[in-house]
Amino acid sequence: MYLKHGLYRFTLVAALFALTACSWIDGYSSTAHQQLLMLEQLHLQFISDAAAAPLDQRLLSYEDRQIRPLFSLALSDSDALRQSNLHVLEKNYQRLYRRVVPQERALTPFEAGILAQQTEKLYQQAINGEQQRSGK
């Protein structure tokens, strides 16, 4: 009898946890998916342009003015899980920006290649996560 009581309690707690977790996470959003694709494209373009010597500061500033508001917009219209993913992506971009622009030193082709691969993997994980949400 004790085993059944423990099983019922476990089942109840698991069900409550599942219901609570579902309320924290929205379903699939085509807008969020498109934002991730756009952010990835802009981020990879920034890496490519940051590898061109000499650095075109105007171009990098222009690209920065495009990507930062898009991060802000995506973060403002997101649930906690999306925000967490976007913060990781945004911090990755900010580290790159601080590495290139203030130092006025272009990335080497090797650095650009590694950064592009890492960035693609980060975005692909976020995009896959978005596609796995219910409602698609």
85: part of which helix (H) or strand (E)?
helix 80-100
Question: Six-digit token pair at 122?
Answer: 């980060």
Amino acid sitting at position 108: T
Closest by alpha carbon to 72, among 85, 86, 61, 84? 86
Q: Residue 96: is its pLDDT beyond 80?
A: yes
Are the C-beta atoms of residues 123 and 39 closer than 8 Å to each other?
A: yes
Q: Residue 9: is its pLDDT beyond 80?
A: no
Say how far apart CA 84 and CA 126 lie, in whole Å. Answer: 10
Q: Residue 14: is its pLDDT beyond 60?
A: no
Say how far apart CA 5 and CA 42 lie, in whole Å. Answer: 55
Are the C-beta atoms of residues 116 and 44 closer than 8 Å to each other?
A: yes
Give this prediction's pTM. Answer: 0.78
Q: What is the mean pLDDT of residues 7-12?
A: 51
Q: State pLDDT tens for residues 32-60.
A: 999 999 999 999 999 999 999 999 999 99
* 3 state DSSP class of 110: helix
- Reported confidence tier of residue 77, pLDDT bands at 50, 70, 90: confident
Of the listed ranges 24-33, 89-98, 116-125, the least confidently predicted one is: 24-33
